[in-house]
Each structure stands twice: as structure tokens, then as C-alpha cells.
Chains A and B, each alone.
Chain A
Amino acid sequence: MTALFAMLLSFGLQGGGLPSQEQTPVLDRLPMEWPRAEEGAWSDWDPQKSGPPTEVARGPLRRALDSVERGDMVSALGAWYDLLEAEPDYPPALYQAGVVYFRMRRYSDAAFAFERFLSVAPQRIADTRALGHCHYSLGRYAEAAAHYEEVLLAGETPGVRFGLGLARFRLGEESAALAHLERVIELNPKHQEAHTWLAQLHFDAGRVEAARSLAERSQELSPFAPRPCFLLARVLLELGEEEEADKAHARFKSLERTAQEVRTLEGRLLYRPNQPSLHARIVELHVTIKNMAGTHRALQRWGAFDPDGVGPKLAALAAWELLKRPEEAESAAASLAVVAGDSVDAWAALARYYRVTRDRVNQVRAEQRWLELERASATGSGE
């Protein structure tokens, strides 16, 4: 761990200046509680034409959207519950509650929400690919495939075709799966997961060379995904290329270790997003393996939750410097300077950054501020 990230983690462990967040009772509730609207109440609903909900529903709607924006799924869920109690079966709320449940990996509850959405807005079936994902995640592959087929009738997208391909694969219908996954790549030649699953399919069928080229392409498309490396290692072993297989396996182990920790931490953040130390650790993990896109996503998620906080901006500066991305680092420094306030850590980091980048004006300003704060701190502790 770098010194900077050690400091960030310790910053995070102190709470990051945000109030502690307790588990809310909404997690103990179930969507079966939602009241039903009168029959046909939403039959004319059209998202393009229908206006905002009633006045009483606007508050929860605003809270829900703000919470989703901040990545605070628990608060968002509470707001969707409030909205559905104020405005029973309001279709966007049903849909969004389904999305939140899906992201929280509560697949039965998500499926309930999407099915209720479909019952009040059957014309919107094209929006309900995620219902297929719910069935799939619960191991109900036949139901998943049937739903994807219905969604497909409403319009073809790589996503729904991919879902259908996977469901067929799970049902043991390998030639159907092959056709669907190949179609995904026709629709989107950069669909990394379709390449991986096609590679798996060929590998299982003993077509090892085909598996190899697909796994390699998948790796090119997503260099930090562990799974293509794992598959490639197994393919190379079958081909007798032991040394290359060992290298691919070593790469897999390194990526998987990181991915596993990220998954665990992200799982915790889903329920308690106000944990700066976890956000900082995720950023650090991505930086360690030089995963730019992952770093960017992690910083964005933290920043969305705490837009005016010093923590995410301090982490951004550290991350982009370590990754030697001067433009992003400069932007992070500018953002940090705006929110730095009385943070000794922030001004120390800025002073050091401006010194390294030879920005003398800002260096002097940052050093002065840092010194002032340190003196004040020393005086304070002296008293």
C-alpha cells in the first residue's frame, strides 16, 4: 500500500465527515406490501406523454432520484416505497424499485417489481430485460429464456440476445446458445462477455482453437477481467502450452484476487454506502493493477455519494498521480482545491502536487494554507 493510500484509508476510517448511516427498516420490507391501484388506473400511461405524478408523490420521487444518483440504494428503495404508497403502481417507481432490488441482488423482489410493472404497463415489455436476468439469477433458466424471447419480439438488442444465449446455454441447448451469442457479436463486435461465453462454449465442446481465439479477443476487450485469463489458461493447457498456461493462470490469480476483494467491498457499499474507507480501498485496488477504467468508475461512485467531500478528491489526485495521468491529476487537484477548506491532508497533498508539477503560484498558496492550518492545529492542541 502506498503512503498516500494508507493516509486515505485512515481518513476513511475516521468517518470522512459524513454522518453514520444505520440500517433502515426498508430492507426488512417486501414488495408484496405495495398497495394496488384500481384496475386500469395506468392503462393510458405513456412515459413520453404522461406528466409528473401528483404533488404528494413529487417529494419521494425527488428523494429517490437523488439517492440513485448518489448510489445510495437503501435510501432510494425507501423513497420508492414511499412513492408507491402515495401513488400505487406508479409504473416508473415499480420499474426503478426493480432496478434497485436487482442491484442489491434481491432477485425475487426485483422479479416481483418487474412483473408488477408489466402487469400495469404491458406495452413496455421491451424495458424488462432485467426480469429475464432475475429469473436467470434464481436458476429459473426456462422462465428466463421465455421472457427474453418475449422481449426480443419487441425489439432486438445485444443485451437481450446475450441473455437469451446464456439462458439457452444453461439449459444445455448449446447450438441455440451458440447462434444467439454469435448474433450478439454481429450486433456489437466489442461485446466482451459474449466473446468469453462463446469461448467457454467452444471449450466445453472440445473446439479448443476456436476457444483460444475468442478468449484472447475477450482479453483484449477487457484486460482486467479475470475470467478470460482463467479460460485461456485452461485452453492453453489442453493445447499442451504449459508455460503460457502458467503465465495466464498467474495473471488470472492476480486479477481474481483484486476482483474478489472489489466484489466484496462493493457488496458492502450497496447496503451502507457511507464507508469512505471501503471506497478508498476499491480505488487503491484498481490503481494497484493499473486499471484506469476501474479507477475512474470507483472514483465516480465515491464522488457521486460525497460530491463535496475531500476524501474522493484526495483519492483522485493520489490515484491519477500514481497512474501517471497528468491531465486527470490536474483536474483532480483543481477540484480538491475547491473543497479543501480546513483539511490539512488536502493542502499538504496539494502543496506536494504543485511542487512536483512546478506550479509555483499554487504551490506557494497551498503551502501557506497548509502551514496556517498546522499552526492553528498546534496552537489548538497547545491550549
Chain B
Amino acid sequence: MISLLILSTLAPAGDLFVEVSSEALLAHPTTCGAVEKDWILEVNGGGLIVEDFDGDGNLDLVVVDGSTLARVQADEPGEAPRLYLGDGECGFALAGEAWEMSGGRWGMGGTSGDLNNDGFPDLVVTQWGPDRVFLNEGGSGFKEVTETAGLIGKRWGTSCAVLDADADGNLDLVITNYLAFDPALVKPRGEGCSWKGHDVMCGPEGLVPVHDQLYRGLGDGRFEDMTFAAGFSPEDAGYGLGVMTLDFDGDGWTDIYTANDSTPNHLWRNKGDGSFEEIAWRYGVGHDANGKEQAGMGIACGDANGDGVPDLFVTNFSGENNSFYQSRGERFRERAHAVGLGGASLRRLGWGTGYGDFDLDGRLDLFVLNGHVYPQADEAGTDTSYAQANQLFLQSKSGRFEEREFSGPARTNRAGVTADLDGDGDLDIISLELGGPARVWENTTLDASRDELAPAPWLGVRLAGSGAQGARLELSYEVDGAEVVRHAYMRTAAGFQASAPLAAHLVAGGYERGSSAVLRVRWLGGELSELELDSLDRWMLVQREAEESR
């Protein structure tokens, strides 16, 4: 076998990220089938969910783990999801017995949110098999309530996200489903499926895509299926892998975007009356610029061009460019090449991704985690490789993204999430390797020794109370007499099989320290909170006023 690792020839970004993974994480690699990858079931990897589960102010991490076909066939449970408690310094330790969760069938991804309105984040885990719900018992442990939670079916759930679709104060749930997989019916590798002349595992083409699901939350940890009642059922189902919540049209209702493998992506507009309509092609976010459907995996969503409207970024298969759907008025244009994100992705297969202002210069950047699905990518003539380097794209003043080296050797990475794990004001990254452990990458931008970067002031915001998920934030301040507004959207959705903390990170480029600034919080449902700030460079918690007085 000839190894053709794609070696980075890029200038390092001064080691912006440094690996600081705790021994507890490295000691427990995840499982996702056999290393040969004879079946499509074995290539997605597990999931990452970041939130403060024990309420100590430090972010914690749930790693969703998988299984093997041999175990499933022997009716043995898969690896259990695991909670690691954070120490507030990028370190993680396995949580105690009260937080232990049992092994399910084959875990994939998950999300967190306060499903029962008790003030503590709960957990949803997707599976190849029945999806699962765990309630947080007051910050002291998880209790599985899957049996009574109302999630239906035994599909192959990949990503999921919470949202308040009907703005009733109870979190709802969207789950993307991949395809109907039955090892008795799907052909394994070596039985006729080839890629670039090499025998590979079969799928997704030729297999049956499965509809995504939308559930209405009842506010007590239970759900009601509203998939068909809400019209959340496209003409053609896609092979769902990634999910994102957003308000692309600024109407105050939470919309949904899904990345589909080898089928057009879907944009679901929330009509505000309990129903959704699928409008991806009309808005230019279903295909690439040539009208070709791509193999969508992960999604990043953020206001990259600073016009107050979200821009979408979707990772795709090798040989396809990652897509950058830039907002243009009402609709989007796919502009990956024009902003420097196209060519750099052609030889990579991207998964987890996210926006963040990693170098704190006032412009959103991107990280992309890469790795192929076929071990045969290391054979001759593929123009790619199985293990691949991750990528960091820093946005320049011109709006183009410049690729910088992301620390660490080439691996087969999958889910990824960004969060300020050490609370120092720069965004760190957690990655999950297929068949490997979760790794923590500390951002060193704000290290005392990095004065050359001249980071701009920043503000971290966490919201508490109903209407937080889907709230819109504006940080406004003056630069040379002109008002500058930075926008953020509160969500936990993190694209591919991952979930981020419910928090916003705003960077105030040009803001003069000591001058005044205003933070406006438009809670989901429309209520506005306005806070005068006399300093930035800190994390703050904003409680919804009406509830605070309650």
C-alpha cells in the first residue's frame, strides 16, 4: 500500500493551537466498527457535546461512542457515552458513577439543552438504533428517560439539535437520519462497489435515504413527533449528516439547515405557524454553484461577511470543494473559490467545522477537520489520503480566507466543536478521531507571550432563561464616530454530530478599551434586553429580566 499523506506546505500560524489533551481523553479511544471499514456504518465516528453539566462554571464534555457489527450481532451493547468534567483549564477527567450512562446500540452524535426547564442541560444521543434522552438531575448525574421520551423509530440518526421552533419556551428537537442500513441487505466491501478503481465499502448511493425527524418538546423531557404535521418531509429524502439552526431571514423564527450526503442539502424555513417549507434550491444552498449535489457532512454558520445575515459553510467529499454560501440580500451565492475556501478543500474530505474569531481580529475564521472514509484512499491514484491534516482558515481584511497550518499530524478526524474551554477569551477546539480519542486544542492567541497578535477586545456571553436558544445578540460600539455592530446567534447546533455550549463569542475589532458599548439581546419571542457595558474582555451571564424578577 502506498501512503500518499497530504502534507501541509503552509506557513504555520505561529502554532495558534497547541494540543493539551488530558490523559483521561487519550486513554479511551472511541470505537466505530472495524479498521477495514467494510461497511458504511463504520465510517462516521462518534459525537462531541460540550456544556456545563454539573453547573460549576466549567465546560464539560460528553463523548458519544460507537460499537462494532460483531457486538450488535451478538446482541451486546456498544460503548457507553462518557461525561468528562472540565477543570476550566482545558483539562478533563472522567465523571463519577452518578454520571455514568449505559451502552446503547451504536452511538453517533448528540446535543444538549434544558429539555425539562429545570435550569440544567440535558442530553440527547443519536444512534444507529433508537435515539436516547438523558435528564440532568440537578447537576449531580444523568438519568436515562428514553423509554418515556417519545422519540420514535430505530433509524440511523447522525446529528441532532435543539431549537424552540414554536417559541413556546420548550425546546424542540431535530434529528438528521442517514440511510436504511441492514447488514443482511447491504453489500460489504469487495462485492462490486468501487472508487477510483479500488474496492470500497458500498453506499450511500444505491441505499435508501431516510427522512429526518422533528419533535415538539413538551417541556418535561418528553417529545411529540411533528415531522409530518409540520411538513418537515421533503419531496426527496436526503442522506442526512449535519444539522444547523439559524434564522436566515431574520423573521425571529428558528429555521433549520441540513447537510446531506450525495443528495441536495435542505433549508427549512420556519413559517411561524408550526410548519416548515423546504426552500434550499430557491435560496441557493442546496447544490454547488454548478448545480451538482455534493456530499455534505458538516456545517458552520456565522456572519462571516459582517452584514448581519448568516453565511453557511458546508464540508464535502474529496474531489468536491467545500461550499461557502454567502448571504446576498434575500438569497445566497456559493462563493467558496472566490474567498479562497474552494481549492484548498479539493483533496480533503471535510467533517466537523465551525466559525470562530480564532485570532481575535474582528473577523470570523473557520476550522475544518478532515479524514477520508475509505482506507483505500492511501492506494495509488486517488489524489487524496485516508489520514488528513486539519485546516484553519483565517479571514483577511479583504474577506478572503488564508489557509494556515493546524497543529498535529494527519489523522482521520470527524466531529469537532469550538468553545472557550479555559475561559480566557479565545476559542479552543475539540476534535474527535474516527476510532480514536477526543483531543483538545488550546488557542494560544491570548497567551501573554503572544503580544505580536494584538488581539482585539472580546466579549463572551451566556444566556439563561427561556428564549435563550435562538436569541440574537448585537454588540454595538463606536469607532471613529461611526457605530459598529457585531452580531451573534445563540445556538448549540455545531454541524456534524456535535453540540456547542449555549454561548456567544463576540470580538470588537476597533473598539477602544474603556469606551462604552451596548449589548442588545433579542430573546426568542421578541423581547429585548439592553445592557450598557463599560468594559469588555470578559465572560458575562445575562438572565432574562422577566424571569429574574420571578
Q: Is B271 an interface residue (CB 8 A)?
A: no
Say whether B340 contacts A172, CB under 8 Å: yes
Q: Is A293 an interface residue (CB 8 A)?
A: no
Say whether B346 contacts A138, CB under 8 Å: yes
| B328 partner residues in chain A, CB cutoff 8 A | 206
Q: Is B462 an interface residue (CB 8 A)?
A: no
Q: Is B186 an interface residue (CB 8 A)?
A: no
Cα distance A109–B196 when bound, in Å?
13
| B340 partner residues in chain A, CB cutoff 8 A | 172
Cα distance A139–B345 when bound, in Å?
8
Say whether A28 contacts B205, CB under 8 Å: no
Say whether A234 contacts B337, CB under 8 Å: no
Cα distance A118–B400 when bound, in Å?
34
Contact with A along B1-20 (1 / 0, CB 8 A): 01010000000000000000
Say whether A138 contacts B383, CB under 8 Å: yes
> Which A residues between 219 and 265 are near B, CB-CB below 8 angstroms?
226-227, 229-231, 233-234, 237-238, 249, 252, 256, 260, 264
Cα distance A44–B289 when bound, in Å?
47
Say whether B291 contacts A252, CB under 8 Å: yes
Cα distance A264–B196 when bound, in Å?
11
Q: Is B321 an interface residue (CB 8 A)?
A: yes
Contact with B along A168-195 (1 / 0, CB 8 A): 0111101000000000000000000000
Say whether A139 contacts B381, CB under 8 Å: no
Contact with A along B320-344 (1 / 0, CB 8 A): 0100000010010101011110111
Say whether B2 contacts A23, CB under 8 Å: no
Cβ contact of A108, chosen from B321, B337, B383, cutoff 8 A: B383
Cα distance A170–B281 when bound, in Å?
23
Say whether B347 contacts A226, CB under 8 Å: no
Q: Is A308 an interface residue (CB 8 A)?
A: no
Cβ contact of A30, chosen from B2, B281, B290, cutoff 8 A: B2
> Which A residues between 125 and 172 are near B, CB-CB below 8 angstroms?
137-141, 169-172
Known: A172-B337, A227-B291. A139 touches B197 (CB 8 A): no
Q: Is A107 an interface residue (CB 8 A)?
A: yes
Say whether A169 contacts B380, CB under 8 Å: no
Say whether B291 contacts A27, CB under 8 Å: no
Cα distance A338–B289 when bound, in Å?
48
Query: Least Cβ distance of A359 to chain B in Å?
Result: 43
Say whether B287 contacts A230, CB under 8 Å: yes
Residue of B nearest to A170 (CB): B337
Residue of B nearest to A237 (CB): B282
Cα distance A30–B379 when bound, in Å?
10
Say whether A105 contacts B196, CB under 8 Å: yes
Query: Least Cβ distance of B180 to chain A in Å?
Result: 20
> Which B residues between 287 and 339 are near A, CB-CB below 8 angstroms?
287, 289-293, 319, 321, 328, 331, 333, 335, 337-339
Cα distance A137–B283 when bound, in Å?
27
Q: Is B284 an interface residue (CB 8 A)?
A: yes
> Which A residues between 63 and 109 are near B, CB-CB below 8 angstroms?
74, 101, 104-109
| A5 partner residues in chain B, CB cutoff 8 A | none
| B516 partner residues in chain A, CB cutoff 8 A | none
| A42 partner residues in chain B, CB cutoff 8 A | none
Q: Is B194 an interface residue (CB 8 A)?
A: yes
Cα distance A234–B281 when bound, in Å?
8
Say whether A30 contacts B380, CB under 8 Å: yes
Say whether A268 contacts B291, CB under 8 Å: no
Q: Interface residues of A toward B: which range?
A: 35 or more
Cα distance A264–B321 when bound, in Å?
19
Cα distance A250–B334 when bound, in Å?
21
Cα distance A121–B407 when bound, in Å?
41
Contact with B along A202-228 (1 / 0, CB 8 A): 011010000000000000000000110
Say whether B381 contacts A204, CB under 8 Å: no
Say whether B289 contacts A271, CB under 8 Å: no
Query: Least Cβ distance of B411 to chain A in Å?
Result: 21
Residue of B nearest to A136 (CB): B343
Contact with A along B379-395 (1 / 0, CB 8 A): 11111000000000000
The binding surface of chain A is classed by DSSP as helix
Say whether A27 contacts B383, CB under 8 Å: no
Say whether A172 contacts B338, CB under 8 Å: yes
Say whether A268 contacts B194, CB under 8 Å: yes
Say whether A271 contacts B347, CB under 8 Å: no
| A365 partner residues in chain B, CB cutoff 8 A | none
Cα distance A200–B284 when bound, in Å?
13
Q: Is A29 an interface residue (CB 8 A)?
A: yes
Known: A105-B196, A230-B287. A140 touches B383 (CB 8 A): no
Say whether A238 contacts B331, CB under 8 Å: yes
Cβ contact of B400, chosen from A23, A28, A137, A172, cutoff 8 A: A172
Query: Least Cβ distance of A202 to chain B in Å?
Result: 12
| A260 partner residues in chain B, CB cutoff 8 A | 292-293
Say whether A109 contacts B291, CB under 8 Å: no
Say whether A172 contacts B379, CB under 8 Å: no
Query: Least Cβ distance of B413 to chain A in Å?
Result: 19
Residue of A nearest to B343 (CB): A139
Contact with A along B272-286 (1 / 0, CB 8 A): 000000000110100
Cβ contact of A230, chosen from B291, B321, B345, cutoff 8 A: B291
Cα distance A270–B381 when bound, in Å?
13
Cα distance A256–B262 when bound, in Å?
13
| B382 partner residues in chain A, CB cutoff 8 A | 106
Query: Least Cβ distance of B192 to chain A in Å?
Result: 10
Cα distance A23–B281 when bound, in Å?
40
Cα distance A234–B289 when bound, in Å?
10
Residue of A nearest to B336 (CB): A170
Cα distance A271–B380 when bound, in Å?
14
Say whether B380 contacts A204, CB under 8 Å: no
Say whether A29 contacts B380, CB under 8 Å: yes
Say whether B339 contacts A104, CB under 8 Å: no
| A171 partner residues in chain B, CB cutoff 8 A | 337
Query: Least Cβ distance of B260 to chain A in Å?
Result: 14
Say whether A170 contacts B287, CB under 8 Å: no
Known: A27-B197, A237-B282. A139 touches B342 (CB 8 A): yes
> Which B residues between 481 and 529 are near A, CB-CB below 8 angstroms?
none
Say whether B339 contacts A172, CB under 8 Å: yes
| B282 partner residues in chain A, CB cutoff 8 A | 237
| B2 partner residues in chain A, CB cutoff 8 A | 28, 30
Cα distance A231–B334 when bound, in Å?
12
Say whether A139 contacts B281, CB under 8 Å: no
Say whether A141 contacts B343, CB under 8 Å: yes
Say whether B284 contacts A234, CB under 8 Å: yes
Cβ contact of A139, chosen from B205, B321, B380, cutoff 8 A: B321
Say whether A200 contacts B380, CB under 8 Å: no
> Which A residues between 2 and 34 are near B, CB-CB below 8 angstroms?
23, 27-30
Cα distance A60–B364 when bound, in Å?
56
Say whether A28 contacts B379, CB under 8 Å: yes
Say whether B379 contacts A256, CB under 8 Å: no
Cα distance A105–B344 when bound, in Å?
18
Cα distance A270–B194 when bound, in Å?
12
Cα distance A249–B344 when bound, in Å?
30
| A203 partner residues in chain B, CB cutoff 8 A | 333
21 contacts between A and B (CB under 8 A): A27-B380, A105-B319, A107-B383, A108-B381, A109-B380, A138-B346, A138-B383, A139-B344, A169-B337, A170-B337, A170-B342, A200-B289, A204-B333, A204-B335, A230-B287, A234-B284, A237-B282, A237-B331, A264-B205, A270-B197, A271-B197
A104-B381, A109-B381, A172-B340 known; 6 new pairs, CB 8 Å cut-off, are: A105-B319, A109-B380, A172-B338, A172-B400, A200-B289, A226-B291
7 interchain residue pairs of minimum CB distance: A230-B291, A139-B343, A139-B346, A106-B381, A271-B197, A170-B337, A172-B338
Which residues from chain A sit less than 8 Å from chain B, CB to CB?
A: 23, 27-30, 74, 101, 104-109, 137-141, 169-172, 174, 200, 203-204, 206, 226-227, 229-231, 233-234, 237-238, 249, 252, 256, 260, 264, 268, 270-271
